[in-house]
């Protein structure tokens, strides 16, 4: 994202909303998915309180399934279509070591999307003061 830890964890600048507020446990290949009733129960209410929301990073499959109408597409297809909702909503892969293979197979992510995303984040943070 091109920002400091201090900025990232400043609640006046950045809000971090998970898809669920409880840890669902682990499965064979990592964490289990968020419980299906969690996000519909509270996410809209919380988002309605974010009056100056300028940029939403939709990170990972579960967030993308909830926020984007193209849930039937692959992660690659969803992230490749990042310009569709630009500059307010950006789909991203989950930042997990398991996605290192995906990152190697999709060099456009680092060369095309990340530079403009970092610039957009800087713009939003300047506007927020």
pTM, two decimal places: 0.89
Partner residues linked to 95 by β-bridges = none
Please give the pLDDT value at position 58. Answer: 96
Q: Residue 90 has what pLDDT? A: 97
Regions of the chain short of the pLDDT cut 70: 70-71, 128-129
Domains and their CATH numbers in the chain: 5-128 (3.40.470.10)
How far apart (Å, rounded) are the C-alpha atoms in residues 46 and 102? 31
DSSP alpha helix (H) spans, 16-129: 38-48, 61-67, 75-80, 100-105, 107-108, 114-128
CB 14 within 8 A of CB 8: yes
pLDDT score for 98: 83
> 17-53 pLDDT, tens per residue?
999 988 899 998 788 999 999 999 999 999 999 988 9
**26-27 and 30-31 as β-strands: parallel, antiparallel, unpaired?**
antiparallel
Confidence (pLDDT) at 71: 61
pLDDT for residue 128: 67
């Amino acid at each position: 994202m091109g920002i400091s830890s201090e900025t990232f964890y400043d609640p006046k600048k950045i809000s971090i909303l998970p898809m669920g507020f409880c840890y669902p446990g682990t499965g064979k290949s990592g964490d289990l998915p968020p419980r299906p009733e969690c996000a519909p129960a509270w996410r809209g209410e919380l988002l309605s309180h974010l009056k100056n929301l300028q940029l939403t990073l939709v990170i990972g499959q579960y967030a993308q399934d909830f926020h984007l109408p193209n849930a039937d597409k692959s992660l690659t297809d969803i992230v490749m279509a990042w310009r569709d909702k630009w500059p307010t909503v950006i789909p991203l892969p989950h930042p997990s070591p398991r996605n290192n293979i995906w990152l190697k197979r999709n060099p456009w992510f680092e060369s095309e999307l990340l530079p403009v995303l970092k610039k957009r984040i800087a713009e939003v943070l300047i506007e927020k003061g």
